[in-house]
Homo-oligomer: A and B are copies of this chain.
Amino acid sequence: MQTPWEYRYAHRMKRMGSSIIRELLKLTQQPEIISFAGGLPAPEVFPVKEFQAACNTVLEQHGAQALQYSTTEGYQPLRAMIAERSVRYGINIGLDNILITSGSQQALDLVGRVFLNRGDRIVVENPTYLGAIQAWNAYGAEYITVPVDEHGMLTSELEKALRTGPKFIYVLPNFQNPSGATLSLERRKELVELADHYGVPIIEDDPYGQLRFEGDHISPVSVLDSEFRGGNGNAYSGNVIYMSTFSKLLAPGIRLAWVVAPKNVIRKLVAAKQAEDLHTSTLNQMVAYEVSRDGFLDEHIEVIRKTYHERRDVMLEAMEELFPPEVSWTHPEGGMFLFGVLPEGMDAAKVLELAIEKKVAFVPGFAFHPTGGGENTMRINFSYSSPEIIREGIMRLGTVLKEEIYKKK
């Protein structure tokens, strides 16, 4: 049906069709398919009972407040809890440095809204997080990509990118989505120094930082930047906007994330959010706070770590056994994803088609390369499926890969 609306779409919509990924993912939603495609947390460990108790407590004690409008900035005790937790990671921030958002997708969107003019360049890792690209495409961003290896962004290639005059650098330092790579301490320091040299600020997107199940914690870029600026290492420098989310710590269905930024920037983000959705659900903020308090969040994060650790181990073992030697993959120390690399010239999108016939799915890596490339790569999620299902899925995928690789030869 043709309506007058059809002739009226804004220019920005040209870059905002439903993504190829989304179309592919629809295919993977048939129930018999084992999907390593999505980025879903393990539902078995959702703290359902604790949420139930928290809903009861919040509605019983503060029902009218929980159901009423609230401030754009976010529920104060929740922000206080975030501030307190951030001190552990070596950085002092106040409530004025924190904005609660409706998931980290909104945090990315608000950053775009506040900072991006059409044509602005952003330095990103290659591959990088697809949600950020989708958010910033709406504002007409262009991307300058920096290659990545198993230690994250190749800071040796960063300088060239910084000389293009980008608006900011976007980095996912821990167990990056999609590559699973973690930016090494040395490179974090190089990143901070180079960003300072060129006067370019940094967005640090850290959804998985607390989901490390192996190796040692590495200081966030925001902390290293504060240290680099000397004197008082634990005072927030403001050069880095940090964001994280409750989606991976508690549950994504409540849409709760946060941004840490200089006060003036928070004020702008608040004005932008006010125009966008007024505020994030009062009920969800109060319930998340109630669930998390008194040490539960830390206990629960331990459970998630253990679960994902086991699942990653099962997946790596199965891949070792069942994947052809021509395929390589990353060994993430946390998070939810690993990244497979097929022989040069192979097309992972084609492999996906065959995989779906064999009832297993992943995401072809080209989707995460905003300036092209990565056709022979694949993102594989290990957080969602149970160990048994992971083994079965990797077996199926191994069969497909062997068929494709040995047919080719």
A residues apposed to B, CB below 8 Å: 1, 3-6, 8-13, 16-18, 22, 38, 40-41, 43-44, 46, 48, 51-52, 55-56, 59-60, 63-70, 102-103, 105-106, 109, 113-117, 120, 131, 134-135, 137-139, 167-168, 199-201, 237-239, 241, 247, 250-255, 261-265, 267-268, 270-272, 274-284
Which B residues are in CB contact (< 8 Å) with A106? 276-277
Q: How far is the CA of A5 from the CA of B115 in the complex (A)?
A: 8
Which B residues are in CB contact (< 8 Å) with A283? 51, 251, 253-254, 284
Which B residues are in CB contact (< 8 Å) with A38? 69
Query: Are B271 and A13 within 8 A (Cβ)?
Result: yes
Across the interface, A55 reaches (CB within 8 A) one of B56, B199, B278, namely B56
Q: How far is the CB of A237 from chain B (nearest CB, A)?
A: 8
Q: How far is the CB of A9 from chain B (nearest CB, A)?
A: 6
Q: How far is the CA of A280 from the CA of B116 in the complex (A)?
A: 25
Q: How far is the CB of A198 from chain B (nearest CB, A)?
A: 10
List 3 tightest A-B contacts by C-beta distance, closest first. Answer: A48-B63, A67-B251, A253-B282
Known: A9-B114, A103-B277. A67 touches B55 (CB 8 A): no
Known: A253-B281, A276-B276. A3 touches B238 (CB 8 A): yes
Residue of B nearest to A120 (CB): B10
Query: Are A261 and B10 within 8 A (Cβ)?
Result: no
Residue of B nearest to A267 (CB): B18
Query: Are B115 and A67 within 8 A (Cβ)?
Result: no
Known: A69-B252, A270-B18. A51 touches B46 (CB 8 A): no
Query: Are B281 and A66 within 8 A (Cβ)?
Result: no
Known pairs A43-B68, A51-B63, A106-B277 / 20 extra A-B pairs, C-beta < 8 Å: A1-B238, A4-B200, A9-B114, A12-B113, A18-B271, A44-B64, A46-B63, A48-B64, A103-B277, A103-B278, A106-B276, A113-B138, A134-B274, A135-B276, A137-B275, A138-B276, A253-B281, A253-B283, A255-B278, A255-B281
Known: A69-B253, A271-B16, A283-B254. A116 touches B3 (CB 8 A): no
Q: A interface, by DSSP: helix, strand, loop or mixed? A: helix
Which B residues are in CB contact (< 8 Å) with A253? 65-70, 281-283
Residue of B nearest to A38 (CB): B69
Q: How far is the CA of A163 from the CA of B158 in the complex (A)?
A: 53
Query: Are B5 and A277 within 8 A (Cβ)?
Result: no
Q: How far is the CA of A114 from the CA of B66 in the complex (A)?
A: 32
Q: How far is the CA of A251 from the CA of B199 in the complex (A)?
A: 46
Known: A9-B268, A200-B4. A102 touches B105 (CB 8 A): no
Which B residues are in CB contact (< 8 Å) with A9? 114-115, 268
Q: How far is the CB of A38 from chain B (nearest CB, A)?
A: 8
Q: How far is the CB of A368 from chain B (nearest CB, A)?
A: 16
Which B residues are in CB contact (< 8 Å) with A1? 238, 262-264
Q: How far is the CB of A17 from chain B (nearest CB, A)?
A: 6
Query: Are A68 and B115 within 8 A (Cβ)?
Result: no
Which B residues are in CB contact (< 8 Å) with A63? 46, 48, 51-52
Query: Are B67 and A46 within 8 A (Cβ)?
Result: yes
Query: Are A271 and B17 within 8 A (Cβ)?
Result: yes
Across the interface, A201 reaches (CB within 8 A) one of B4, B11, B12, B137, namely B4
Q: How far is the CB of A243 from chain B (nearest CB, A)?
A: 14
Residue of B nearest to A139 (CB): B10
Some 7 contacts from A to B, beta carbons below 8 A apart, are A5-B241, A9-B115, A13-B114, A65-B253, A69-B253, A109-B275, A137-B275
Q: How far is the CA of A269 from the CA of B317 in the complex (A)?
A: 43
Which B residues are in CB contact (< 8 Å) with A134? 274-275
